[in-house]
Structure 1
Amino acid sequence: MTLTHPLDAPADPFEVAQTAAADIARLTGVDHHDIAVTLGSGWGKAAELIGETVAEFPATEVTGFSRPAVEGHVGTIRSLRTASGQAVLIIGARTHYYEAHGVRRVVHSVRTAAATGAKTMVLTNGAGGIRETWKPGTPVLISDHINLTADSPLEGATFIDLTDLYSQRLREVARSVDPSLDEGVYVQFRGPHYETPAEVQMAKAIGGHIVGMSTALEAIAAREAGMEVLGFSLITNPAAGISPTPLSHQEVIDAGRAAEPVISDLLARVIGQL
Structure 2
Amino acid sequence: MTTGRLSTRFTALKRANRAALVAYVMASDPDHETCLEILRGLPAAGADIIELGFPFTDPMADGPSIQRAALRALKAGGSLRNTLELVRRFREHDKDTPLILMGYANPIEAMGYAPFAEAMREAGADGAIIVDLPPEEDGPLRAAFAANGLSIIRLATPTTDDNRLTKVLEGASGFLYYVSVAGITGAKAAAADAVRSAVERLKRATDLPVAVGFGVREPEAARAIAETADAVVVGSAFVDEIAAAPPGQAAEHVLRKVRLLSEAVRSAKDKRALEGTPA
Q: Give the TM-score normalised by the residue count of structure 1.
A: 0.31
Question: More helix per residue: 1 or 2?
Answer: 2
Q: Give the TM-score normalised by the residue count of structure 2.
A: 0.31
Question: More strand per residue: 1 or 2?
Answer: 1
